[in-house]
A and B are shown apart, each in its own frame.
Chain A
Amino acid sequence: GAVVSQHPSRVICKSGTSVKIECRSLDFQATTMFWYRQFPKKSLMLMATSNEGSKATYEQGVEKDKFLINHASLTLSTLTVTSAHPEDSSFYICSARDIGGPSDTQYFGPGTRLTVL
């Protein structure tokens, strides 16, 4: 199946710093990538839709100035958590939509565990 990577897999930072998470589709092109957040024992919550070459679309309640998304190429999207605070600690997962494959399916990265001290 299609492969999506995320980097880093785990990051610990101090409150007030910014953290960048990369999401790459390794063997397909993705005009659209998605960023999710998962709270403990909860479902995945869609944060934003990242479109190559255009601005991201944020879900209601998600601060676009805090969670900066850049989709610079057909294989790379980045999520930057700006001025991170302890409440931003979570598991962040990206997915990429393979529109060139046999089915219009999202493939997920392995996730990034962010801990803000």
Chain B
Amino acid sequence: DQQVKQNSPSLSVQEGRISILNCDYTNSMFDYFLWYKKYPAEGPTFLISISSIKDKNEDGRFTVFLNKSAKHLSLHIVPSQPGDSAVYFCAASAHAGGTSYGKLTFGQGTILTVHP
């Protein structure tokens, strides 16, 4: 049961253009969402997060949009740079307490390649 899905396994973008990475979720209890960037043989690096009380959060070149009714979030990177090439994971957690508190559920990841 894949509660967090990233349906695009890969994305290729030209340097300077916008990269849009998408993520869908099914569990309505999720109320906190994060994006991580990961290089091979390294741990994920936190990029940006958003709480369910917001629909947008921006940090420099990174913006995360949340559409709760559609259970969809996206990460926009603009302008894209070759150094952004990595695997991007979206993750979700529920803060309603109980045994699932704080646990992250990850999507499958999207490989972003930014061409010079």
Q: Which residues of A contact B (CB under 8 A)?
A: 1, 4, 6, 32, 34, 42-44, 46, 49, 57, 91, 93-95, 97, 103-111, 113
Contact = CB atoms under 8 A, between A and B. Distances in A.
Contacts of B42: 110-111
Interface of B: 32, 34, 36, 41-46, 49, 89, 93, 95, 99, 102-109
A42 B108 contact: yes
A109 B106 CA distance: 16
Given A43-B108, A43-B109, A108 B103 contact: no
A34 B106 contact: no
Nearest to B32: A104
Given A42-B108, A104-B95, A104-B102, A4 B89 contact: no
Nearest to B9: A41
Given A44-B106, A104-B93, 12 more contacts: A4-B43, A32-B102, A43-B107, A46-B104, A93-B44, A95-B104, A104-B102, A105-B34, A106-B34, A106-B102, A106-B104, A108-B46
A32 B101 CA distance: 10
B49 A103 contact: yes
B43 A1 contact: no
A29 to B, nearest CB: 15
B36 to A, nearest CB: 7
